């Protein structure tokens, strides 16, 4: 597939990564990928895989992030290797700073309509809660 066609395919919103074209025949985990085949990585598919995250991989469970994941590539939002996102380190640092600021000034509580009822949109290239995520936010006293 030509580069322009691959970019057009990537911009359809069906994939959140850049498609790659196999430059030679390769076998990955027993699957033969012939030269010229377009391969697209779907980070959400990796992040919902039961072999990595357990049988409840599709359930919202923030406790699963305690400790390290089984595979260092299990969180693939920025991809990995020589073509990973060049803004990954900056983005993660920025996210941590925002999170620290929010958590130091506000408290967050589940609302009755969301408590224990969070489901992920599936299929979706991004991990996001179905119907949004309703929370009660209160300013902490100084």
Spatial CB neighbours of 13, under 8 Å, sequence gap ≥ 6: 125
- Return the number of other C-beta atoms located less than 10 Å from residue 80's C-beta: 13
Q: Domain ranges for the chain, please list them.
A: 41-139
Q: Is 74 exposed, middle or buried (0-12, 13-18, 19+ CB in 10 A)?
A: middle
Q: Give the integer Cα–Cα distance in Å for 38 and 1.
A: 7
- Residue 6 pLDDT greater than 90, yes or no: no
- Separation of alpha carbons 134 and 113, rounded Å: 8
What pLDDT score was predicted for residue 121?
A: 80
- Predicted TM-score (pTM) of this structure: 0.53
Answer yes or no: are the C-beta atoms of 27 and 37 closer than 8 Å.
no
Q: Are 128 and 48 in contact (CB under 8 A)?
A: no
Q: What angle do CA 76, 125, 16 make, to 5 degrees?
A: 65
Bridge partners (DSSP) of residue 136 are: 109
Greater confidence (10 vs 85) lies with 85
Render pLDDT for 8-54 as a digit per residue (tens, 0 to 9): 444 444 445 568 889 999 998 899 999 999 988 777 777 778 887 78
106 confidence band (pLDDT: 50, 70, 90): very high
Per-residue pLDDT reduced to its tens digit, 41-52: 777 777 778 887
* Cβ-contact 59, 70 below 8 angstroms: no
């Amino acid at each position: 597939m030509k580069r322009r066609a691959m970019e057009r395919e990537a911009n359809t919103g069906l994939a959140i990564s850049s498609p790659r074209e196999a430059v030679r025949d390769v076998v990955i985990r027993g699957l033969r990928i012939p030269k010229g085949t377009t391969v697209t990585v779907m980070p959400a598919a990796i992040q919902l895989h039961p072999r990595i995250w357990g049988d409840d991989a599709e359930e919202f469970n923030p406790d699963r992030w305690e400790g390290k994941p089984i595979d260092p590539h299990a969180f693939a939002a920025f991809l990995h290797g020589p073509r990973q996102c060049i803004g990954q380190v900056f983005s993660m640092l920025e996210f941590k700073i925002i999170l620290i600021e929010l958590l130091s000034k506000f408290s967050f509580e589940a609302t009755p309509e969301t408590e224990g009822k969070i489901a992920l949109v599936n299929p979706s290239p991004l991990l996001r809660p179905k119907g949004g995520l309703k929370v009660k936010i209160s300013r902490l006293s100084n």
